[in-house]
C-alpha cells in the first residue's frame, strides 16, 4: 500500500471521528448551525481562513496563472480588504441581532418570511454552482492518489463530505477546518522551498518562466476591465457569502471577531502568496499540461518526495473539504431552517435538524449529478468560483451591508435587489461580453433596485430597525 493511500485513509478516519464527536456534543439547533455562538478567535478565524482556502486557491488559482499568467495574482490584494470590511464595518451592527442563518437576518431586518425564503432559494442555487468546482477538483485529487477514474473520485469525495457534515453540523465543520488548515500550512510550507530549490532559487525560477512562457509576466492575458471586475467580485463576494457571514454569528463577541478575522487575513494572504510561487514552478516543470487545473496535483506527485507530496495532496483535499462542508451546512440550514421552518413553524427543533441533514445530502448531490451529465465541463475551477462570488455579491451585498446602515431600505427593495442582481449576473454570464465580469452589472442592478424600490414603497417599521441602531 502506497504512502499516499495510507495518509489519506488516516486523514479520512480522523475526519469521520470528529464528525461523530461533534454529533455527541450537538444539543440543539444553535450548536448545529452556529456552534452555539461561542467560538473563540482561533477556531473561528481558522474556520474562516480554511473556508476561504478552497479548490479555487489550491487548484483554480494555480490553473489560471498557469494558463493566463501572473496578472491574475493581483486579486489576492482584495482578500484583506474584504475581511477588514467585514470586521470593521459590517460586523459591529450585523451581529447585534444574533441569528442562526443569513436568511433569518433577512427576515429580521426586512420583516418578511417571504423575503427570507427568497434568500434561502438564492443560497441553494448559488451553492450548486460553487460546489461543482470543488467536486471537480476532488475528482482530480482522487484520480492521482488512488488511481481511480475521475468520475468515481468525484462520487467518493462527495459522499465523504456529505456524511461527516450532515452528522456533526457546525461543530464538526470548525473542528475539521482547524485540522485542515494545519495540513494546508504544513503542506505548502514543505512544498514551497523544495520546489524553488529544485530550480536553483527564486532568481533562476523567474528566468526559466520567462524562457518557457514569456507571456506569464505580462498584463496582456486579461483585459484591464476584466481584471478589475474580477477583483471586485472577490471583494464584494467575500463580504456577502453566507458561510462567512454565519461565522460572525458563531464567534462569541466583537473582540473575538476582530482577532479571528485578523488571523484569517494572515492565513489567507500567506497561502495565496505561496500558491503563486508554486504556480510559477509548475509552468517550468510541466509546460504542456492539457489543463492548468492539473498543475498543483502534478507538482505534488512528480516533484516532491512521496511523503511530502502526499502531505501537499492532503492539503489540497483539506482545502476542498473545508470549503464544501461550510457551503453544505449553509445550504442545509437554508432548506430546513429558512424554508421548511417558516412553512411549518410548529415543527419541532429535532425535526428541523433532520430535515437539515437530509437537505445537505440532497443539495450536495445535485452538483455531482450536473457534473456527471456534462454541465460546466471543461471550465477552469477558478472561473466557477468567480461566478459564485459574483452571484453572492449581486444578491446579498446591498441588502446586508446597506440594510444595517440605511433605515429606509424596505422588504420590497431587498427582494427586488436580490432577484434583479441574480438575474442580471446570470444573464451577463450567459450573454454579456466576456471582457467584464458579471459582478459589475449584477451589483449595479442590485444597488439601483434596492434604493429605487425602497424609496417608492412605505418605510419599514421601527421594530425592523431597532436591533441595528447605535
Task: Report yes or no: 401 and 89 within 8 Å, Cβ to Cβ.
Answer: yes
Using CA atoms, how far apart are residues 201 and 443, in angstroms rounded to an integer?
A: 43
Task: Report yes or no: 396 and 115 within 8 Å, Cβ to Cβ.
Answer: no
Task: Report yes or no: 231 and 75 within 8 Å, Cβ to Cβ.
Answer: yes
CB atoms within 10 A of CB 400: 22
DSSP string over 202-258? HHHHHHHHHHH-GGGGSS-SS-HHHHHHHHHHHHHHHHH-HHHHHHHHHBSSHHHHH
What rounded mean pLDDT belongs to the chain?
A: 81
Q: What is the model's pLDDT at position 134? A: 72
Answer yes or no: is pLDDT of 164 > 70.
no
Could you tell me the pLDDT band of residue 303, with boundaries at 50, 70 and 90? low
Could you tell me the pLDDT band of residue 202, with boundaries at 50, 70 and 90? confident
Using CA atoms, how far apart are residues 235 and 83, in angstroms rounded to an integer?
A: 9
Could you tell me the pLDDT band of residue 100, with boundaries at 50, 70 and 90? confident
**Tens digits of residue pLDDT in 36-86:** 778 889 888 888 887 777 666 777 677 778 777 777 777 777 788 889 999
| pLDDT > 90: percent of the chain | 20
Answer yes or no: is pLDDT of 267 > 80.
yes
Q: What is the model's pLDDT at position 55? A: 61
C-alpha dist (Å) from residue 124 to 60, 118, 285, 364: 22, 10, 40, 10
Answer yes or no: is pLDDT of 375 > 80.
no
C-alpha cell belonging to residue 442: 449584477
**Tens digits of residue pLDDT in 323-368:** 677 777 788 888 887 888 888 888 787 787 788 778 778 877 877 7
Task: Report yes or no: 139 and 153 within 8 Å, Cβ to Cβ.
Answer: yes
Using CA atoms, how far apart are residues 134 and 136, in angstroms rounded to an integer?
A: 5
Q: What is the model's pLDDT at position 359? A: 77
Answer yes or no: is pLDDT of 1 > 60.
no
Between CA 316 and CA 468, with CA 46 as vertex, the angle to 5 degrees is 130
**Tens digits of residue pLDDT in 349-360:** 778 778 877 877
**Chain Cα centroid distance, residue 199:** 33
Which one is predicted more confidently, 186 or 59? Answer: 186
Specify the range with the lowest mean pLDDT, choosing from 176-180, 330-334, 456-460: 176-180
Q: Check residue 39 and report its DSSP letter.
A: B
Which one is predicted more confidently, 168 or 44? Answer: 44
**Chain Cα centroid distance, residue 258:** 20
Q: What is the model's pLDDT at position 62? A: 77
Could you tell me the pLDDT band of residue 260, with boundaries at 50, 70 and 90? very high
C-alpha cell belonging to residue 286: 510541466
Answer yes or no: is pLDDT of 21 > 60.
yes
Using CA atoms, how far apart are residues 413 and 446, in angstroms rounded to an integer?
A: 9
Closest CA to 179 of 400, 345, 348, 17: 17
C-alpha cell belonging to residue 38: 461561542
Answer yes or no: is pLDDT of 376 > 70.
no
Answer yes or no: is pLDDT of 378 > 70.
no
Q: What is the model's pLDDT at position 258? A: 93
Q: What is the model's pLDDT at position 221? A: 74
CB atoms within 10 A of CB 465: 18
Specify the range with the lowest mean pLDDT, choosing from 100-104, 143-147, 406-410: 143-147
Buried b (16+ CB within 10 A) or exposed e, 212-242: ebeebeeeebbeeebbbbbbbbbbbbbbbbb
Q: What is the model's pLDDT at position 443? A: 96
**Tens digits of residue pLDDT in 391-401:** 999 999 999 99
Q: pTM of the predicted model, to two decimals? A: 0.83
Q: What are phi and psi of 39, to 5 degrees?
A: -70, 140
Task: Report yes or no: 76 and 274 within 8 Å, Cβ to Cβ.
Answer: no
C-alpha cell belonging to residue 26: 450537538
Answer yes or no: is pLDDT of 168 > 70.
no
Task: Report yes or no: 413 and 453 within 8 Å, Cβ to Cβ.
Answer: yes
Closest CA to 349 of 23, 21, 20, 31: 31
Which one is predicted more confidently, 133 or 386? Answer: 386
Which one is predicted more confidently, 89 or 272? Answer: 89
CB atoms within 10 A of CB 452: 13
Answer yes or no: is pLDDT of 374 > 80.
no
Q: What is the model's pLDDT at position 185? A: 81
C-alpha cell belonging to residue 382: 477558478
Task: Report yes or no: 122 and 397 within 8 Å, Cβ to Cβ.
Answer: no
Extents of the domains making up the chain:
3-468
Class of domain 3-468: mainly alpha
**Tens digits of residue pLDDT in 227-255:** 888 888 888 988 988 888 888 888 988 99
Task: Report yes or no: 11 and 156 within 8 Å, Cβ to Cβ.
Answer: no
C-alpha dist (Å) from residue 96 to 102, 404, 422, 458: 13, 10, 27, 25
**Tens digits of residue pLDDT in 431-448:** 999 889 999 999 999 999
Over residues 84-93, the mean pLDDT reads 90
Using CA atoms, how far apart are residues 15 and 11, in angstroms rounded to an integer?
A: 6
CB atoms within 10 A of CB 16: 17
Amino acid at each position: 500500500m502506497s504512502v499516499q493511500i495510507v495518509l489519506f485513509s488516516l486523514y479520512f478516519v480522523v475526519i469521520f471521528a470528529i464528525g461523530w464527536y461533534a454529533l455527541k456534543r450537538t444539543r440543539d439547533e444553535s450548536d448545529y448551525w452556529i456552534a452555539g455562538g461561542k467560538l473563540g478567535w482561533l477556531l473561528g478565524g481558522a474556520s474562516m481562513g480554511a473556508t476561504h482556502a478552497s479548490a479555487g486557491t489550491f487548484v483554480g488559482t494555480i490553473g489560471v496563472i498557469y494558463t493566463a499568467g501572473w496578472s491574475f495574482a493581483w486579486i489576492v490584494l482584495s482578500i484583506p480588504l474584504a475581511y477588514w470590511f467585514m470586521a470593521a464595518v459590517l460586523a459591529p451592527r450585523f451581529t447585534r441581532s444574533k441569528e442562526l442563518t443569513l436568511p433569518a437576518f433577512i427576515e429580521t431586518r426586512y420583516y418578511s418570511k417571504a423575503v427570507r425564503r427568497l434568500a434561502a432559494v438564492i443560497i441553494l442555487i448559488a451553492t450548486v454552482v460553487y460546489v461543482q468546482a470543488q467536486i471537480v477538483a476532488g475528482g482530480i485529487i482522487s484520480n492521482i492518489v488512488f488511481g481511480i477514474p475521475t468520475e468515481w473520485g468525484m462520487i467518493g469525495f462527495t459522499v465523504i463530505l456529505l456524511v461527516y457534515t450532515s452528522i456533526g453540523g457546525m461543530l464538526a465543520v470548525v473542528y475539521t477546518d482547524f485540522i485542515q488548515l494545519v495540513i494546508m500550512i504544513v503542506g505548502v510550507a514543505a512544498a514551497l522551498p523544495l520546489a524553488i530549490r529544485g530550480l536553483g532559487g527564486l532568481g533562476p525560477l523567474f528566468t526559466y518562466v520567462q524562457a518557457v512562457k514569456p507571456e506569464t509576466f505580462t498584463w496582456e492575458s486579461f483585459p484591464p476591465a476584466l481584471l478589475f471586475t474580477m477583483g471586485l467580485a472577490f471583494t464584494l463576494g467575500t463580504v456577502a457569502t453566507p458561510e462567512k457571514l454565519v461565522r460572525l454569528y458563531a464567534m462569541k463577541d466583537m473582540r473575538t471577531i476582530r482577532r479571528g478575522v485578523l488571523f484569517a487575513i494572515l492565513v489567507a494572504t500567506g497561502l495565496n502568496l505561496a500558491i503563486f510561487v508554486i504556480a510559477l514552478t509548475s509552468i517550468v516543470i510541466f509546460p504542456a499540461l492539457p489543463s492548468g487545473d492539473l498543475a498543483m496535483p502534478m507538482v505534488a506527485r512528480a516533484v516532491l518526495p512521496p511523503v511530502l507530496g502526499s502531505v501537499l495532496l492532503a492539503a489540497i483535499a483539506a482545502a476542498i473539504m473545508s470549503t464544501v462542508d461550510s457551503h453544505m451546512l449553509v445550504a442545509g440550514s437554508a432548506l430546513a431552517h429558512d424554508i421548511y421552518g417558516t412553512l411549518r413553524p410548529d415543527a419541532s427543533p429535532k425535526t428541523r435538524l433532520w430535515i437539515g441533514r437530509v437537505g445537505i445530502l440532497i443539495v450536495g448531490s445535485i452538483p455531482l449529478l450536473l457534473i456527471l451529465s456534462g454541465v460546466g465541463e471543461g471550465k477552469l475551477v477558478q472561473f466557477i468560483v468567480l461566478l459564485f462570488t459574483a452571484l453572492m455579491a449581486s444578491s446579498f451585498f446591498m441588502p446586508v451591508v446597506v440594510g444595517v446602515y440605511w433605515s429606509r431600505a424596505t422588504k420590497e427593495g431587498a427582494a427586488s435587489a436580490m432577484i434583479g442582481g441574480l438575474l442580471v449576473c446570470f444573464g451577463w454570464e450567459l450573454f454579456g461580453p466576456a471582457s467584464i465580469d458579471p459582478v459589475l452589472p449584477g451589483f449595479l442592478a442590485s444597488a439601483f433596485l434596492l434604493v429605487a424600490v425602497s424609496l417608492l414603497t412605505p418605510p419599514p417599521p421601527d421594530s425592523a430597525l431597532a436591533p441595528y441602531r447605535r
